[in-house]
Homo-oligomer: A and B are copies of this chain.
C-alpha cells in the first residue's frame, strides 16, 4: 500500500481530496496548519474528518510565523478587514497570506521525506486561480520540481494537486459520489458561530453548491447574499 502526506484544512476541497485519495487505496497522514488564521474552526473540522477516515492527523503550529506574513485579512485583524463579495474580485487578494501555500507544502514535503511517503497531496482547485497565484498548476508543478531537486533519494516523488483544474462545483459533484460529509467541513474565513455567507470563501461555496444542483447542508448567517455578489460581478 502506498502512503502519502495530505494537507487537510477542514474545508470542502481538501476534505473531498482526502476522500478521493482514500478511495484510491492510499494510506494518508493528514497535516493541518495553525498559521494564526481567524477561522481556526476549520481545524476542528479537519480533526473530525481525519477521525472519520481513521488516519493519522497532526496540526502543525505555525502561529509564531503568521505575524511575520503581513497584509492578509486572514491573519491580520488589526489592519486588514475581511472583504465581502464575489470570491474572484480583485479585493479578495486581501485574503492572500504571503507565500502561505509554499510554506505549508515545504513542511509537508519535509514530513514526507522523513516518512518516505510517495506523494504530497493538496487541494488547490481551478476556481482559485484568478486571485491565488499559489494555487495554479504551473506553480505546483514548479514547486514540486524544485523540491525534488532539493531532496536526496526517491521519495517523495510527486507534489500532486489533482483538483487544480477542476471547479468547486465539480469537486462537490465528486464529493457526492464519494459520500463526503459536507456538513462537517468549514469554509468561512470569519471565525463566527455560523458561516457568514458574505466573505469570498462563503460566496464561492454557496455559488458552487448552486451550480452543482444541490443544497449546502451547513447553516449561514446570510444564505442569500451570494446571489447579489454573483449578479453584480456578472453585470460589472
B-binding residues in A (CB < 8 A) = 58, 60-62, 64-65, 68-71, 93, 96-103, 105-107, 109-111, 113-115, 131, 133-134, 136, 138-139, 142-143, 145-147, 149-152
* Contacting pair A103 B106 (CB below 8 A): yes
Q: How far is the CA of A144 from the CA of B58 in the complex (A)?
A: 29
- A145 surroundings in chain B (CB, below 8 A): 142, 146
* Contacting pair B101 A103 (CB below 8 A): no
Which of chain B's residues has its CB closest to A143's CB? B146
* Count of identical protomers in the assembly: 2
Q: How far is the CB of A8 from chain B (nearest CB, A)?
A: 15
Q: How far is the CA of A111 from the CA of B68 in the complex (A)?
A: 6
Give me 5 other A-B pairs in contact (C-beta within 8 A), A99-B150, A105-B106 excluded: A60-B64, A62-B64, A68-B111, A70-B115, A71-B114
In the A-B complex, list the 10 residue pairs whose CB atoms are closest, starting with the nearest: A70-B114, A99-B110, A134-B150, A98-B113, A142-B146, A61-B64, A143-B146, A98-B110, A102-B106, A139-B150
A-B residue pairs in contact (CB < 8 Å), sample of 15: A61-B64, A62-B64, A62-B65, A69-B111, A70-B115, A97-B110, A98-B110, A98-B113, A99-B107, A101-B150, A102-B110, A106-B106, A142-B145, A142-B146, A143-B150
Which of chain B's residues has its CB closest to A35's CB? B110
- A134 surroundings in chain B (CB, below 8 A): 150-151
Contact of A109 among B97, B102, B105 (CB under 8 A): B102
- A99 surroundings in chain B (CB, below 8 A): 106-107, 109-110, 113, 147, 150-151
Q: How far is the CA of A170 from the CA of B58 in the complex (A)?
A: 43
Contact of A65 among B60, B109, B115 (CB under 8 A): B60
Q: How far is the CB of A21 from chain B (nearest CB, A)?
A: 20
* Contacting pair B60 A68 (CB below 8 A): yes
Contact of A68 among B58, B65, B70 (CB under 8 A): B58
* Contacting pair B109 A152 (CB below 8 A): no
